[in-house]
Structure 1
Amino acid sequence: MPKNEESHGYVTPRGITRCQWLGTTAHPEEREGQLGGSADAGSRPEGRAARGEPAGTSAAAAMPKAKKRGGAHQRGAGGQPRNVQPFSDEDASIETMSHCSGFSDPASFTEDGPEVDEEATQEDLEYKLKGFIDLTLDKSAKTRQAALESLKSAFSSKILYEFIMERRMTLTDSIERCIKKGKSEEQCAAAGLACLLCVQMGSGIESEEIFKTLGPVLKKIVCDGTASVQARQACATCLGICCFIVTDDITELYSTMECLENIFIKAYPRDRDTNGVSSTPNTVLHISALLAWTLLLTICPMNEVKKKIEMHLHKLPSMLSCDDVNMRIAAGETLALLFELARETDADFFYEDMELLTEKLRALATDGNKHRAKVDKRKQRSVFRDVLRAVEERDFPTETVKFGPERMYIDCWVKKQTYDTFKEILGSGMQYHLQSNDFLRNVFELGPPVMLDAAALKTMKISRFERHLYNSAAFKARTKARSKCRDKRADVGEFF
């Protein structure tokens, strides 16, 4: 019989906790006595005799010995679990990403809420950003990538000129190291951060220093056939944007355009009589190189624009037959932009194969092939309707972009190409940068930023309730207008 232990006058078997014994093996009278806080008569010999049990029999003999939770094979010395790893790089990356969650949504910087101390908030933000900059030098690739993504989110959502100015060389060195030694995802994140770094700094001496450091590295990755396609694609986009922002050297501009040109001309068919162009794994790279080259073409001198038009205008239509819808759209938008630039340089510009080109564009604008996805066809038709109007009628559908109390009108393909490029890298932060970023306001000729205090902004902002009322009224009016047409159709049907 195992030895019994006595605790506060109650006998419990060894290896079984007091709560387990009271909850599972004790008699109801014993449990009531225990819960009442008094000595339990059931645990004494006279209590057992009253129930007809031998006096020498204990509760431990009436039930088996309980199994211990976690044997020796599960725990090591001192009761600590074995195989416990110390704080690893993966844990660090997870912790880093948890801290980065505050930057995942740019709206988190502008959400409505109680008034807070802006200075304290700015200090807290800068403290976090300093930590992310330090983590870009971490040994763990996951930690570095998470830090790069966090910096990207912050740079796209806030204007941090003074903070970046003090740390621009550190950031440049970190980006250069990540592009050189990192793998595909890390290189893409670093290239995206380089774009945002130049957008924050604008055109100036500091940005030129950044591009002098990163430019050769980006060109090397773009031309490296052994690098991943995603990394080359990101570096091609970064190369075009950074060159657009910072360079005043015409030689550097032509050199960058030549580098990008050597990439996308590989998408041209070798034989001009080829009916179609098949997509390849490098198609996404060709698209990015073409769009970056087109962006740089918008800031070239007119004599260089004429040369490029003569070189590429008769080759680009062959890319309209590519299997990839994004390649067809990129080629179509580039053609529209080239026609716009050609007519600006020469009012009597004439294209020899205009009839064949318009037939292709019209076919793409009304494409109904069943083997293509509906989403792709819808997107393609929308774009090529505008391209066809630009080529045939020299017309552009004006678009309006609203940001805060201001509006911007996109009325030409050059401005559309520029806006789409920066919208791609800034994402939802584009509106904020259009309001506050001096460089972007200069590019789109918006003038100096409009300074509005908090009270003025509050009076201009529509409350959620007012928006709800407006939407409800519009919905009712639309329903009434449509219901009248439906009623007429119903009456006609009933008449017949």
Structure 2
Amino acid sequence: MEALEELEKILRPYSETLPFDSTTSVAEKLCRVSIRRGGDEESEKACRLLGMLFINEGDNPETSELFHKVKTILLQRGTPSALEALGMACFVGAEDETTTLRTMASFESFFTKAGRAEAFTMAAAVRAWTLDATTLSPDVLLEYVLGESGRSAGLAIRRYAVKETPKGDGPRDLKLAATGALALVLEMTTTEEDSDEEEEDEDTDGGDLTSFSSIQESMTGSLIDAATSPKILSLASLETALDRVSDGLSSGRKKVSSKDKALRKRIAAELESDVVIEIGNREVVELYRRVDLTRLNAFRSILESGSSDHLAYNPFLRDVFELGDPPARDASANPNSRKYFGDEKTRSRSRAEGRQYNNRRNELWD
């Protein structure tokens, strides 16, 4: 365990400077030893490192092959960190939409069957499902959630999003993940042209959720519920606000009307998903689509402090967010590079300063 912690310290700067050149060997070692046979804490750290490897390597034939190698092991492990790593592996390495849909179906087995997994695991499966759904074309996603294969997933996600919040961090995390999934599906499917409405008359086999309009109404209603009901926690960050609301109850009478309004505004603002961030090279990026925020949250979960540097210099991430080619790395604008590796100019200057110090010291003693 101590050895793995030391390894994590060593690899921390690597998450910010992209030096991996032997992804397959490192990933297979992580899966074979730490993820499959390690303890909970060891497996969790190894899964994060595995996700980091996929992000470092980017989209190429190697990562596609690696994704298929690690998929079974991660599903068998079935922990939140393993599902998160698999979601990222699929996002990076899946070669086509059919492969993505099959992986999404694997995630669904964790949250569509009652009692299959605990709430935190179900939430991780929903988030991984949502991340991979961002890679689908809108018509494929719509056909999937309306079809026989994905219909149960859509209904389960809607149920978790609108259900009153039970006690516990896990169920609240599940509600947050489900609300995000609903927002994503609604955003992606409503970006299609109005010609989709012509297909409504073609799907008349009966049953609910069998047309574009019905799923749109269902999901819109779910999001309205999430944004207006004070009983529903749609954001993990609002737990403190809810606790304050609970503290405001006395003698069976609610004295929290103003707090309720503020709470609803904050939830609605989150669902609007408009975020401006400054990344490592002082570049300002505005993200306003749920698709982009879903991806950003997934990358941040794995990269943590390295996410800003990756957005600035990782060609794969810049392609994902359509930021263009990365600028030339400048050690003066990137303290991490100077801190951990240093360029040749920095090293030469240090050696020169050292020689000057030694010369002055020798002159004093001569």
Q: TM-score, normalised by structure 1?
A: 0.51
Which protein, 1 or 2, shows the higher relative CO under an 8 Å CA cutoff with sep ≥ 6? 2
Aligned counterpart, 1:242: 89
Cα shift at 1:375: 4.4
Code of the aligned partner of 2:81? A
Code of the aligned partner of 2:35? I
2:325 corresponds to which of 437, 440, 448: 448
Please tell me whether the aligned partners of residues 329 and 383 of structure 1 are also in contact (alpha carbons under 8 angstroms). Answer: no
* Matching of residues 172-211 of structure 1 within 5 Å: 172-177=27-32, 178-211=34-67
Higher mean C-alpha displacement, 190-199 vs 355-364: 355-364
Code of the aligned partner of 1:339? L
Higher alpha-carbon Rg = 1
Aligned counterpart, 1:149: 8
2:315 corresponds to which of 411, 434, 438: 438
1 CA distance for matches of 2:118 and 2:334? 47
Deviations 1:305-326 (A, max 9, x none): 0133332444433213242322
1:398 corresponds to which of 251, 255, 274: 274
Please tell me whether the aligned partners of residues 179 and 190 of structure 1 are also in contact (alpha carbons under 8 angstroms). Answer: yes
Deviations 1:351-402 (A, max 9, x none): 34455762453114997xxxx9534568975663136xx6xxxxx3521111
Matched, 1:423 2:314: no
Matched, 1:341 2:191: no
Code of the aligned partner of 2:60? G
2 CA distance for matches of 1:237 and 1:345? 29
Structure 1: 5+ residue runs without aligned partners?
A: 1-141, 223-231, 269-279, 391-395, 459-496
Deviations 1:395-427 (A, max 9, x none): x35211111221111011001111111011111
Please tell me whether the aligned partners of residues 24 and 62 of structure 2 are also in contact (alpha carbons under 8 angstroms). Answer: no
Aligned counterpart, 1:264: 111
Residues 1:414 and 1:364: Cα distance change in structure 2 (over 3 Å)? farther
Residues 1:306 and 1:169: Cα distance change in structure 2 (over 3 Å)? closer
Cα shift at 1:344: 1.4
Residues 1:383 and 1:337: Cα distance change in structure 2 (over 3 Å)? farther
Aligned counterpart, 1:384: 267
Higher mean C-alpha displacement, 282-291 vs 207-216: 207-216
1 CA distance for matches of 2:315 and 2:35? 28
Residues 1:326 and 1:381: Cα distance change in structure 2 (over 3 Å)? farther
Please tell me whether the aligned partners of residues 337 and 413 of structure 1 are also in contact (alpha carbons under 8 angstroms). Answer: yes
Residues 1:287 and 1:366: Cα distance change in structure 2 (over 3 Å)? closer
Please tell me whether the aligned partners of residues 229 and 264 of structure 2 are also in contact (alpha carbons under 8 angstroms). Answer: no
Q: Percent identity?
A: 24
Higher mean C-alpha displacement, 422-431 vs 327-336: 327-336
2 CA distance for matches of 1:434 and 1:286? 29
Code of the aligned partner of 1:290? V
Residues 1:144 and 1:294: Cα distance change in structure 2 (over 3 Å)? same
Residues 1:400 and 1:168: Cα distance change in structure 2 (over 3 Å)? same
Cα RMSD after superposing both structures: 3.0
1 CA distance for matches of 2:14 and 2:241? 32
Please tell me whether the aligned partners of residues 228 and 264 of structure 2 are also in contact (alpha carbons under 8 angstroms). Answer: no
2 CA distance for matches of 1:332 and 1:455? 41
Aligned counterpart, 1:12: none
Residues 1:267 and 1:156: Cα distance change in structure 2 (over 3 Å)? farther
Residues 1:386 and 1:214: Cα distance change in structure 2 (over 3 Å)? same
Please tell me whether the aligned partners of residues 325 and 380 of structure 1 are also in contact (alpha carbons under 8 angstroms). Answer: no
Cα shift at 1:246: 1.5
Matched, 1:363 2:229: yes
2 CA distance for matches of 1:352 and 1:145? 49
Aligned counterpart, 1:316: 157
Code of the aligned partner of 1:439? F
Cα shift at 1:150: 2.7
Aligned counterpart, 2:143: 307
